[in-house]
Every structure is written in C-alpha cells, then in structure tokens.
C-alpha cells in the first residue's frame, strides 16, 4: 500500500473514496473543526449530513457511513468514520477508525483513497495511526485459499493523506510515514507467521523465516540445533521438545551498533515464546482448546517483527532477540508428569502439568538472555488462559518488579495503541510452586494462575530489570474489530518498537 502526504483541499482530490474522520460534535456544523466535512456537504447540497443523520450516524467511535457522490465530488464515495468525543480521543481511536475505513473501501472495490487527517493535538501520532490503521486493516491471510472469495477484503493500494487546513508538509512527516509503513509490514508479517498452520510453521521453518528476515535487514543471527541446546544445558527446553519428531531450534538475533562506544552499551533483550504447536503433551488438551494452538508462538513472532523494524531504527545500543522453538506433543518419548528437569540455571523443576510447557522453555531462554547482562529484559508469551479470564481478549497482562522499566513498557504500549495492564507478582503466591522433591514445580493451583507463571519465570532473571507480557488474550482477535480481522493480531510489535524508539531518543537527547 502506497501512502503520500499533501497539503490540499481533500474534497478536490480524485479517488475512489474520500475518508473523513469526524468527532461527534463535528456533525452540528456550528463549531466544527472538520472543514473538509463542511465543504463536502456544501458540494453535495447538504445531502451528506442530512443522510448521515437519517441513517443514525452520530460520529460515535464505532460508526461508519458511506454515501455515493453521483459526480458531485471527484471521489465516487464519501466514507465517514466516527471518532467519538474529542475529549476522549487517542491515536488508537483514529487507528481503529482507519481500519474500519479501509474495510468499507474494500467492500465497494475501491483501489484509491483520500483521507482527511483530523485536527488533533499530536499530528505525528495521528499520521502514524492512519497509516497503521489502513495497513493493518487491509490485512487478510489467504495463502491457503485456492479461490479468493469475495469476502470484502480491501484492495486499496494508494492512499493520499491530506493535512488539516493551514498545515504544510515537512520533511519530518516523511520519516513518520516511513516508520509507520515499517511497523505495518513487520506486524502483518508477524500475523502471517502466527496464522500459518502448525504443520507448515515448524520450529525449523520458523528459524528459517528468522534467518531470511535477518539477512534482508542486516541483523546477525545464530541458529542452534538440539546438540547446541544440549551443550547449553537447557534441560527444561529439551524436556518439552522430547515428545515431537520435529527438531527444536534455538535462535539468537542481534542488532549491534557500528559505533564502538554504542556497541558497549548494556543491551535490551527480548525473548519470545515459540511453541509452534501445543497439544498439551501427556496432559492433553481438549480438541476445542487445541484448535488454536498454532498461535502459541505469537510471542516469538512479535519479537521477530519488532527486530525487523529495530534494524531500520538503528538504536545507539545493542538489541538482542531470542527464542527456543519446539512442539509440545504426546508420544512414547514425551516428558512425563512427575519427571524432574534441570534448567540451565541449575534449578530443578518437578513436572506437575505438561501443558505448562511454555514457562519451561522460557526459563532456559531467559537465563541465557540474562547472561548478556541486559539493561532491560522483556519477554512476550501466550502463557496462561488465566490471563484471558482476568483481562479478556484485548488487554495484555504485564508483570514485573522494576517500576521504571514497567512504566516505560506501559507508556510504550499506550502510545502504540496496545493496551497493557499491570498485574501483581507477589511472593504470597510462591508456595503454589513449592515441590516436595525438587526446587520448584512447573505449575501450581488454578487460583492466581497467571501470577504463578510469572513467579516461575522470575526465578530465571535474577535482579535484572524485567517485564513479562502475557499476550494469551490479545495475540488473536475473536472477531473483526477496527483494523483487526479474526485471527492473529501481531500484538507486541508496536509496543516493542515504541519502547526501543523512546529509549534511543532519550539516550540521544542526553548525549546531545
């Protein structure tokens, strides 16, 4: 999708659709800041606002209205998308509206669109929101369709963004659009990885995808096989991988600045969960619960998508990405209930549930990542159903004890439009992981399940500033909503990119 930015009158631009985001009070026509809306309505002899009102369009944040112009405007149709109350506006509201707009455009077979950027306080974030909303909203996973059905998939390939009246295009705006395009491409790629069936997105294939991406953007990558995992004494990782005929893979991506001093900075390390299929092992899941378990590698997909953008950001400090990929399968070789596994850190773990496998692999990978002495360590994992019960399908659970890093991650998520909610990680729950024969159990009681999982991971990060993001809910959307379609969301990519971008800006400002 090609995006351009101009200073012009949007109602004079020629395209298949003219998209006008409007606040609820813009429809009164009295104190409206949406001048393009008023001009369009005037050229349509008052028909736009009148018909919209008749159809019940009030500018609410979930509303969309489409009107044919019958030649009275250069655009064949006008698409109004509601932004709700101005006082409650955030860039995410605009991002969701842009997603609705591109889907509406797709339904009328539009190929070109003109979008009037609304008058808001932070223009750069509004520009990013429109580009990301359009790019993410146009996404469809159709690799396995032998015939592309007429399912309303967007075909828009050219989008012209029009600045609010009185504003001129600046060079910095091009950089904003470029970043947004990179984020869209990386997020949609991450969605492809997650949506791909587990039979074709095996640990080996996931590692190959990482290798190809690293080569394309200039990242260093090291890929280890079972022998390497054994050399690193990752007993928990090996235990989970035992049950599958698919060979595990250990992947380490890195961005290292060319400047010698910058390369010496303490790195940011990102770890993603990469269980390419989770049957539950011998603690077998019910069929309904197993159906979506191809998505159990969404954390690694988010890490990969973020690293793809980070390579273009070129931050003045190293950034490392890690994942251990394997399947969790039942077989005569699978690890058993009651087994004791020895982690890379030397801690022993009694297995009380083979379906609590993600934390086992993550524990070994976190230990390994922590050996790189990071300034910040973040992991993303579709870790617990308990987090979905607590927060639903659209909120990420955030765990960690370092207040500064937690604040940075939460702010990055808020700015990026990926909402996170801090949950407690308390020693009061630690007894749930107490084992009678080993240092700890891998699973405790159902109560506080998401906290128990976070406490388990905490054992492998020491005193390093660390945040664990449980993305079990928002890793996939149960329905179409805004720029989401049903399926993988690529959640985490935007938050990680924003975190690294902000950290780089902070360091550069202090260096200056």
Q: What is the per-residue pLDDT for 28? A: 74
Question: Rounded to an integer, what distance in angstroms lies between the CA atom of residue 83 and that of residue 200?
Answer: 40
| Residues 321, 492: Cα–Cα separation, whole Å | 13
Per-residue pLDDT reduced to its tens digit, 299-339? 999 999 999 999 999 999 999 999 999 999 999 999 999 99
Question: Which pLDDT belongs to residue 34?
Answer: 86
Q: What is the pLDDT of residue 446?
A: 86
Reduce the DSSP state of residue 168 to 3 states and report it.
Answer: coil
Q: Residue 83: how many CB atoms within 10 A of its CB?
A: 24
Asked if pLDDT for residue 505 goes beyond 80, the answer is: yes
Asked whether the predicted pLDDT for residue 31 surpasses 80, the reply is: no
Tell me: pLDDT of 176 over 90: yes
Mapped onto helix, strand or coil, the DSSP state of residue 337 is coil
How far is residue 473's CA from residue 197's CA, in Å, rounded to a whole number? Answer: 19
Q: Is 484 helix (H, G, I), strand (E, B) or coil?
A: strand
**Residue 464 structure tokens:** 């390093």
Q: What is the value of pTM for the model shown?
A: 0.96
User: What does each C-alpha distance from 455 to 307, 424, 427, 475 come to in angstroms?
Assistant: 27, 10, 8, 22
Bigger pLDDT: 344 or 27?
Answer: 344
Fold for the domain defined by 182-511:
Aminopeptidase (3.40.630)
3-state secondary structure of 512: coil
Instruction: Give residue 262's pLDDT.
Output: 95
What does DSSP assign to residue 481? B
**Cα angle 281, 460, 341; round to 5:** 40
pLDDT for the residue 444:
84
Strand duo 158-162 + 2-6: pairing: parallel
- For residues 94-101, average pLDDT: 98
150 falls in which pLDDT band (50, 70, 90)?
Answer: low
Q: How confident is the model over 231-290, as pLDDT tens digits? A: 999 999 999 999 999 999 999 999 999 999 999 999 999 999 999 999 999 999 999 999
pLDDT at 486: 95
Q: Which pLDDT does position 149 carry in this prediction?
A: 55
Mean pLDDT of 204-231: 98
Sign of CA dihedral 371, 372, 374, 379: negative
Q: What is the residue-averaged pLDDT of the chain?
A: 95
Higher pLDDT, 150 or 46: 46
Specify the fold of 2-165: 3.40.220
C-alpha 479/C-alpha 159 separation (Å) is 26
Q: Name the residue among 426, 415, 405 with its Cα closest to residue 469.
A: 405
Beta bridge partners of 325: 249, 274
pLDDT, tens only, 346-390: 999 999 999 999 999 999 999 999 999 999 999 999 999 999 999
Residues with catalytic roles: 285, 359
**Strand runs (DSSP E) across 166-233, as ranges?**
220-224
Render pLDDT for 484-500 as a digit per residue (tens, 0 to 9). Answer: 999 999 999 999 999 99
Nearest to 238 by CA among 347, 346, 325: 325
Q: 433-464 pLDDT, tens per residue? A: 999 999 999 998 889 999 999 999 999 999 99
| Distant-in-sequence, close-in-space partners of 287: CB < 8 Å, separation ≥ 6 | none
298: its two tokens: 């969404």
Q: Which pLDDT band holds residue 30 (cuts at 50, 70, 90)?
A: low
Q: Where are the domains of the chain?
A: 2-165, 182-511
Q: How far apart are CA 41 and CA 192, in angstroms?
A: 41
What span, in angstroms and rounded, lies between the C-alpha atoms of 34 and 65? 16
């Amino acid at each position: 999708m090609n995006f351009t930015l101009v200073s012009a009158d949007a109602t004079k631009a020629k395209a298949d659709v003219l998209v006008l985001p409007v606040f609820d009070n813009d429809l009164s026509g009295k104190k409206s800041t949406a001048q393009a809306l008023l001009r369009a309505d005037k050229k349509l002899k008052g028909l736009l606002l009148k018909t919209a009102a008749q159809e019940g369009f009030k500018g609410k944040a979930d509303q969309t209205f489409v009107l044919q112009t019958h030649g009275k405007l250069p655009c064949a149709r006008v698409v109004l998308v509601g932004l709700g109350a101005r006082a409650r506006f955030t860039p995410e509201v605009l991002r969701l509206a842009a997603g609705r707009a591109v889907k509406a455009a797709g339904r009328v077979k539009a190929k070109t669109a003109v979008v009037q950027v609304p008058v808001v306080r932070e223009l750069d974030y509004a520009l990013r929101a429109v580009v990301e909303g359009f790019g993410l909203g146009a996404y469809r996973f159709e690799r396995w369709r032998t015939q592309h059905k007429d399912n309303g998939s967007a075909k828009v390939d050219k989008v012209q963004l029009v600045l609010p009246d009185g504003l001129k295009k600046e060079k910095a705006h091009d950089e904003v659009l470029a970043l947004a395009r990179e984020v869209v491409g990386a997020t949609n790629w991450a969605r492809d990885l997650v949506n791909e069936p587990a039979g074709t997105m095996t640990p080996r294939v996931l590692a190959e995808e990482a290798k190809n991406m690293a080569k394309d953007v200039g990242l260093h990558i090291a890929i280890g096989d079972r022998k390497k995992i054994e050399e690193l004494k990752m007993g928990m990782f090996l235990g989970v991988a035992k049950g599958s005929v698919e060979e595990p893979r250990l992947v380490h991506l890195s961005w290292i600045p060319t400047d010698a001093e910058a390369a010496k900075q303490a790195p940011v390390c990102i770890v993603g969960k990469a269980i390419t299929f989770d049957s539950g092992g011998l603690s077998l899941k019910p069929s309904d619960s197993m159906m979506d378990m191809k998505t159990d590698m969404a954390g690694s997909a988010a890490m990969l998508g973020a690293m793809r953008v980070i390579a273009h950001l070129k931050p003045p400090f190293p950034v490392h990405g890690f994942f251990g990929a394997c399947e969790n399968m039942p077989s005569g070789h699978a690890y058993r209930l009651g087994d004791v596994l020895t982690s890379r850190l030397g801690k022993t773990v009694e297995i009380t549930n083979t379906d609590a496998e993600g934390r086992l692999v993550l524990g070994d990978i976190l230990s390994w990542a922590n050996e790189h002495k990071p300034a910040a360590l973040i992991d993303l994992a579709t870790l617990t159903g308990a987090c979905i019960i607590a927060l639903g399908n659209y909120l990420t659970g955030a765990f960690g004890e370092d207040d500064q890093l937690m604040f940075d991650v939460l702010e990055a998520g808020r700015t990026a439009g990926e909402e996170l909610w801090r949950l407690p990680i308390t020693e009061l729950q630690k007894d749930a992981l107490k084992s009678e024969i080993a240092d700890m159990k891998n699973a405790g009681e159902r109560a506080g399940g998401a906290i128990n999982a976070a406490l388990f991971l905490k054992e492998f990060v020491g005193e390093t500033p660390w945040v664990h993001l449980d993305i079990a809910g928002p890793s996939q959307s149960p329905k179409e909503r805004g720029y989401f379609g049903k399926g993988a969301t690529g959640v985490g990519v935007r938050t990680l990119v924003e975190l690294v971008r902000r950290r780089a800006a902070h360091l550069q400002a202090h260096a200056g």
